[in-house]
């Protein structure tokens, strides 16, 4: 009995030591990621504050933007497969529902109930639910279906079976283990550390992110049909992304903050681009971050449902990227290669590194990691290759799409802003602090005779 107690004590001690070592290793990785992200994001902050990005924009055309954004979508092709694997019929069903709502039922409006004695005298209002909430509707329908199938015992109870993740209660333990309230604070995982390889990797990611963000800004402007984007708005967008990334690093999130091309796809699908909706969505996310169990409840969405949604979003994302080629002469062999080679390189080379991780061997582990980061980032690799080929291979500006690009994607008047890319309080603030007019990321003057905000759903200019 004594020997058994000793063995138990030794086993428990070893288990605790292993657990502590694992936790320390995780914290150490988070600290390294935080330090690298802070340094890389500061470069993005400088680019936004100084307006240096404007110089880079002179060389970036539709081909570079198309390759970069398209590779974001193609690099995510595994997600629908991984998430849909537990039950492909559910994933396909979710995808089909989104397509039906967006393509076939977008003009179908549901009449709203009327209340009050005088209500019958007023015309019945209608709500275009399929146009505004196609993804949410599809998710709710398939989610409810998974609950029904789970209760009926259609799915296995064996947690080791891959199909178990199709159950509606497969992630229910996340809710029970989450706290009701949680507050994220800087340094909660320890002080940031610096790694050369990781810092270079994050620099590559930030550079790719800036190129992608510029493409996102133009894509959003095209979807919302707002005036041309002025220089200061682009610089301010990059600045805010950099600041957000620094804050993200300080709290140990381990990832940068950037515009998400998938949201441009959502704008296209829902045909709604109201700024007030974005404010409400941001506030909702802040609340969810504080309420642990609410955020945990959202993570319990079955994997096949996520797989179906991602299938639509990723495909739309690739299409948005390729839509930038509409003014490029794609009958030219020059342009076919300049577009095709970067896209294939951005797909094949990272895939090759993933299949054969030891293929890079310079004799220096740090150098191996740096090269792997450069070659393993599809957006950076494809975008940089497209930029180099497009600017060095002989070709007319018209065939490259640059002539029309300069007309439709040129930045707007930097000196005067009509209010779309500014705020109602800014003129008063500028009068108090005149120095603001000299900052590259703020407008020099604002004309608020007609401050507008475009709402795609109503297809008209709405005073704000």
Q: Return d(Cα 162, Cα 87) in angstroms, integer.
A: 9
Longest CA span, the chain: 88
| Strands 452-455, 445-446: pairing kind | unpaired
Task: Report residue 212 as tokens.
Answer: 């992608």
CA distances from 331 to 325, 326, 327, 421 (A): 12, 12, 11, 37
- Over its length of 464 residues, how does the chain's per-residue pLDDT go in tens digits? 555 555 445 445 554 554 555 556 677 888 888 888 888 889 889 988 888 877 777 778 889 888 988 888 888 888 899 999 998 999 999 999 999 998 898 888 887 776 666 666 667 777 778 877 888 899 999 999 999 999 888 888 888 888 888 888 888 888 777 788 877 778 778 788 887 777 887 887 788 788 778 878 877 887 777 777 888 888 888 999 999 889 888 887 877 788 876 677 777 766 777 778 888 888 888 888 888 788 788 888 899 999 999 999 888 888 888 888 988 999 999 999 999 999 999 999 999 998 888 888 888 887 887 788 788 888 888 988 999 999 999 988 889 888 877 776 555 545 555 567 777 777 788 888 888 888 888 887 665 544 444 444 434 443 34
Q: Return d(Cα 266, Cα 317) in angstroms, integer.
A: 9
Containing H/E element for 454? strand 452-455
What are the respective helix, strand and coil percentages of the chain, to the nearest 5? 65, 5, 30
Q: For 399, left (φ over 0), alpha (ψ -120 to 50), or beta?
A: alpha
Chain centroid to Cα 73, Å, comes to 11
Q: Return d(Cα 205, Cα 340) in angstroms, integer.
A: 22
Q: With contact defined as beta carbons under 8 Å apart, do 238 and 44 qualify?
A: yes
* Tokens 């707007």, residue located: 412
Q: Return d(Cα 284, Cα 267) in angstroms, integer.
A: 18
CA distances from 316 to 72, 217, 264, 296 (A): 11, 16, 9, 28
On whether the pTM is more than 0.75, the answer is no
In sequence order, which ranges of 51-170 are alpha helices (DSSP H)?
53-57, 62-74, 78-84, 88-99, 129-132, 134-151
Query: CB under 8 Å to 278, separation ≥6 — which residues?
Result: none
């Amino acid at each position: 009995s004594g020997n058994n107690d000793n063995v138990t004590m030794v086993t428990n001690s070893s288990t605790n030591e292993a657990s502590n070592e694992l936790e320390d290793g995780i914290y150490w990785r988070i600290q390294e990621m935080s330090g690298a992200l802070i340094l890389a994001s500061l470069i993005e902050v400088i680019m936004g504050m100084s307006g240096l990005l404007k110089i880079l924009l002179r060389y970036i055309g539709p081909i570079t933007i198309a390759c970069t954004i398209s590779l974001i979508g193609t690099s995510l092709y595994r997600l629908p497969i991984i998430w849909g694997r537990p039950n492909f019929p559910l994933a396909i069903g979710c995808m089909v529902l989104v397509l039906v709502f967006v393509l076939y039922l977008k003009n179908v409006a549901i009449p709203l109930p009327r209340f009050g004695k005088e209500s019958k005298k007023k015309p019945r209002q209608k709500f275009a639910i399929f146009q505004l909430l196609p993804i949410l509707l599809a998710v709710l329908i398939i989610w409810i279906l998974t609950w029904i199938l789970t209760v009926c015992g259609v799915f296995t109870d064996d947690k080791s079976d891959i199909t178990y993740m199709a159950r509606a209660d497969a992630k229910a333990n996340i809710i029970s283990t989450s706290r009701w309230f949680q507050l994220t604070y800087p340094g909660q995982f320890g002080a940031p550390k610096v790694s050369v390889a990781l810092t270079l990797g994050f620099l590559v990611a930030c550079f790719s992110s800036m190129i992608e963000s510029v493409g996102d800004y133009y894509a959003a402007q095209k979807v919302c049909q707002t005036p041309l984007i002025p220089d200061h708005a682009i610089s301010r967008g990059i600045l805010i992304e950099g600041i957000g990334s620094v804050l993200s690093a300080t709290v140990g999130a381990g990832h940068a903050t950037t515009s998400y091309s998938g949201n441009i796809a959502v704008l296209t699908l829902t045909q709604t681009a109201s700024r007030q909706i974005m404010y409400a969505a941001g506030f909702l996310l802040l609340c969810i971050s504080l309420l642990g169990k609410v955020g945990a409840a959202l993570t319990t969405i079955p994997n096949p449902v996520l797989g179906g949604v991602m299938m639509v979003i990723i495909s739309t994302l690739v299409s948005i990227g390729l839509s930038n080629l509409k003014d490029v002469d794609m009958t030219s062999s020059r342009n076919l290669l300049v577009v095709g080679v970067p896209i294939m390189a951005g797909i094949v080379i990272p895939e090759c590194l993933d299949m054969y991780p030891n293929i890079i061997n310079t004799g220096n582990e740090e150098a191996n990691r740096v090269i792997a980061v450069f070659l393993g980032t599809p957006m950076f690799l494809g975008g940089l290759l497209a930029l180099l080929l497009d600017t060095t291979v002989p070709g007319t500006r018209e065939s490259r799409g640059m002539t029309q690009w300069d007309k439709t994607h040129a930045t707007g008047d930097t000196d005067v802003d009509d209010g779309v890319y500014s705020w109602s309080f800014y003129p008063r603030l500028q009068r108090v602090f005149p120095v603001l007019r000299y900052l590259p990321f703020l407008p020099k003057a604002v004309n608020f005779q007609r401050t507008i905000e475009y709402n795609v759903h109503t297809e008209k200019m709405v005073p704000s």
